[in-house]
Structure 1
Amino acid sequence: MDIEFEGTVHRWRNNEGIFLVSLPKDLSDDIKEISEGMTNGWGSLKVEAKLGSVVWRTSIFPDPKTGCFDLPLKAEVRKKNNIDEGSEVKVQLDVLGF
């Protein structure tokens, strides 16, 4: 399942050291519907993400407060793309296993 979306980088409210970008609500709803019963711990799904020229494997996690999936951005990804809190990013995402 290949997805492309844009979002604003923000910090996780439970740990300011973790940077995230949220998938749009409608996209998150579609993923939840399609992946029902197939998620891992905490409702996560394995993905391959691409931001700029950096490709990495990670997981997306549902945020119960917003209803959106969040993609964590590793320090290496942020550094190579000059990303900080508030940056607007365009992400290509492949939800694995579909």
Structure 2
Amino acid sequence: MLLVQIEFTAPLWQWQVRTDSWWFVTVPPEHSDELADLPLPPRGFGSIRVRVTVGGTTWTTSVFPSDRDGGYVLPMKKKVRQAEGLVPEKAVSVTLETIDI
């Protein structure tokens, strides 16, 4: 199993679609390139399964390729945003680890 661990800091941003709001942190280009180069089995929407830690919260989710930034984006659950006191446009320190590779 190939394991990649990435640490980065990036701002929290909101994407609004119709009445829904989705919150993300963008994986920096150099780390997105590293993820894009992984030998992955096909998954929905080109996603990559990851374990994420922000502050004292760890959860399993996926990162997704983004046309907006040309890299990957990490969705930030409301539960995590509330638990860690995350606010829009403020830096979020993230540890991301690939799983299921």
Is TM more than 0.5 here? yes
Contact in 2 for aligned 1:39/1:45 (Cα 8 Å): no
Fraction of identical pairs, as percent: 28
Match of 1:40 among 38, 43, 62: 43
Which letter does structure 1 place at the counterpart of 2:71?
C
- 1:53-76 CA-to-partner distances (Å, cap 9, x unmatched) read 000010000102321100000011
Aligned residues: 97
Structure 2's unaligned 5+ residue stretches are none
TM-score (norm 1): 0.90
Q: CA deviation at 1:42?
A: 0.6
RMSD (CA atoms):
1.5
Alignment gaps of 5+ in structure 1: none
Measure, in 2, the Cα distance between the counterparts of 1:39 and 1:32: 12
Indicate the residue corresponding to 1:4 in structure 2: 7
Contact 1:8 1:87 in 2 (8 A): yes
| Alignment equivalent of 1:93, drawn from 73, 76, 96 | 96
Structure 1: distance between partners of 2:42 and 2:84: 29
Aligned to 1:54: 57
Aligned partner letter, 2:75: P
